[in-house]
Structure 1
Amino acid sequence: MVGSLKTYLEEKIAYIEQHLLPGLEREGVPATLFESMKYSLLAGGKRLRPMLVLAVLEAFGKPLERGIPYAAALEMIHTYSLIHDDLPAMDDDDLRRGKPTNHKVFGEATAILAGDALLTRAFGYIAEAYLAHPEVKAETTVKLVAELGRRAGAAGMVGGQMADIEGEGKQLSLEELEYIHLHKTGDLLIAALRGGGYLAEATPSQMDALTRYGLCIGLAFQIQDDILNVEGNAMLLGKAVGSDANRKKATYPSLLGLEASKQRLAALVAEAKGAIADAGLSHSALAPLADYVMERNK
Structure 2
Amino acid sequence: MNNYITNIKSVPSALLYKVKKLKHVALDMDGTIYNGSTLFPYTVSFLNQLKRLGISYSFLTNNPSKSISDYLEKLEGLGIEATEEEMYSSAVATIDYLKTKHPEVKKLFILGTSSMIKQFNKAGYISTEDSAQDEPDALIVAFDMTLCYERLCRAAWWAKQGKIYIATNPDKVCPTDKPVVLVDCASICSSIETATGRKPDVVLGKPQKEMLDGILSAKNLKPDEVAMVGDRIYTDMMMAHNAGAFGVLVLTGEATLEDAEKANPELDIVLPSIEVLGNLIEYSHLR
Superposition TM-score, scaled by structure 2 size: 0.26
User: Which structure's relative contact order is higher, taking Cα pairs within 8 Å and 6+ residues apart?
Assistant: 2
Superposition TM-score, scaled by structure 1 size: 0.25
The structure carrying a bigger strand percent of its residues is 2
Question: Which has the larger Rg?
Answer: 2
The structure carrying a bigger helix percent of its residues is 1
